[in-house]
Amino acid sequence: MIKKLLNRGIETWLNQSHSDEEFRENSFVFVALTILMLILSFFIYYNVFIDSYPVLATIQGTGVALCLAGYYFLKNRRSTRTAGILTVTIITTISLLFIIGSQNRELALAFCFITPVVAIFILGYKLGSFFSLINFAVVAYFCLTEMQNWQPVPFDSISFIHLAIIYFFLFSIAYFYDSGRRRTMRLLKESNLQLKTLSTTDVLTRLPNRLKMEELLLNSDEVKWIAMLDVDDFKSVNDTYGHDIGDHVLKVIAKQLANTIGDDGVVARWGGEEFLIAFYLSDINAIENKLMELQDKIAAKKFNFERNVTVSCGATPHQRHMHRTAFRRADEALYRAKASGKNCYKLDITAIGMEALQ
């Protein structure tokens, strides 16, 4: 619930949808800036009202000002890279100044661990590595030249506060990064599913297309018969009444085919005015009844022109390992139906076809 509210708040503030490609990166920088501002604000309060340390308070106030600049570049300029560089620069600079200024009092050296995690998450491994190496070089130099002057570090209340802040800062950044990555992967999966659906669906009729049907016929033993169906004299419909009317006729026929076949098979648009039906039925009488029912219902359809629309069919038994032969035989049966006066069906039952029915 909190995560959803946070995402909605960020979407509103950025005026950007969570499905946008840049949303994950922008929201990650936004969260990093916000966490950083909260931590700096706490230390400003601490160094002003509890343990008076004006120099540190001034440095931290400068950090807050730079965070506000980061917000500006993120929201108004849509410059995620600039906002990210500002965020990492603030974290690195203030951490180093605090470590050098305190000489590892109050467990200050622990703050050096923030930079490499945040820098690589926000800026990527190339620029992030650059910041990380600079940070390490400064810390290493300070340690090697000043370590002999350090006093033993007591683990007091402020040391525990520093430890807790660093721990939960890294935890928050890692959690948000991983949740954002998972959300991106989920969106990618949904997008791929949509693309797959589009690639296997006929745009006009919303039936499976030829690619989807061929995949079914090649990988399923459930298909016992196939039927090629062609709209009679469809070219004259387009020529006389226009392609919009022709498209309407195809959509009506497609819907009627799908409704009539139901769970007994799959209907696909094969191309143009041709459809292909894959029947799960094996009984020849059931196939003939379905074909007659289809032709009767389509012929009874009323369109916005005088003539009736009819279809011709050619059907044959199907075997998965010989589907090309079945296509050819169904097409030959369809040709015979056309030659017989149209609005009828023909069956092609050969030795191969009879074997498929066994």
| pLDDT band with cut points at 50, 70 and 90 for residue 69 | very high
Is the predicted pLDDT of residue 295 greater than 60, yes or no? yes
Assigned token pair, 300: 């009874």
Residue range 230-245: mean pLDDT, rounded: 92
What is the C-alpha separation between 140 and 227, in angstroms, rounded?
78
Where is average pLDDT lowest: 72-86, 150-164, 208-222? 150-164
pLDDT digits (tens, 9 = 90+) for 117-157: 888 888 888 888 898 899 899 888 888 888 777 777 777 78
What pLDDT, on the 0 to 100 scale, is given for residue 3? Answer: 66
What pLDDT, on the 0 to 100 scale, is given for residue 352? Answer: 45
pLDDT digits (tens, 9 = 90+) for 46-57: 889 888 888 888
Options 11, 21, 25, 273, the catalytic residue: 273
pLDDT digits (tens, 9 = 90+) for 307-352: 889 999 999 999 888 888 898 999 999 999 999 999 999 998 764 4
Helix H, strand E, coil C: the string for 44-85 is: HHHHHHHCCCHHHHHHHHHHHHHHHHHHHHHHCCCCHHHHHH
Residue with tokens 């041709």: 274
Residue with tokens 């589009």: 198
Asked whether 267 and 261 are in contact (CB, 8 A), the reply is: yes
Is the predicted pLDDT of residue 248 greater than 90, yes or no? yes
CATH number of 210-357: 3.30.70.270
Is the predicted pLDDT of residue 356 greater than 50, yes or no? no
Query: Which of 58, 66, 60, 3 minimizes the C-alpha distance to 31?
Result: 3
What pLDDT, on the 0 to 100 scale, is given for residue 335? Answer: 94
Determine the residue type at 260: T
Q: E strands, 101-259, where?
A: 225-231
| pLDDT band with cut points at 50, 70 and 90 for residue 1 | low
pLDDT digits (tens, 9 = 90+) for 156-209: 788 788 878 887 887 777 777 767 777 777 887 888 888 877 788 898 999 999
Residue 311: enclosing H or E segment and its boundaries? strand 311-317
What is the C-alpha separation between 145 and 149, in angstroms, rounded?
9
What pLDDT, on the 0 to 100 scale, is given for residue 350? Answer: 66
On average, the pLDDT of the chain sits at 86
Beta-carbon contacts of 117 under 8 Å, excluding residues fewer than 6 positions away, are 170, 173, 174
Burial class (CB in 10 A: 0-12, 13-18, 19+), 137: exposed
What pLDDT, on the 0 to 100 scale, is given for residue 351? Answer: 42
Asked whether 333 and 325 are in contact (CB, 8 A), the reply is: no
Is 332 annotated as catalytic?
A: no
When mean pLDDT is compared over 17-31, 67-81, 152-166, 172-186, the highest value belongs to: 67-81
Domain extents in the chain: 2-198, 210-357
Assigned token pair, 184: 């991106």
Residue range 275-289: mean pLDDT, rounded: 93
Assigned token pair, 51: 């343990």
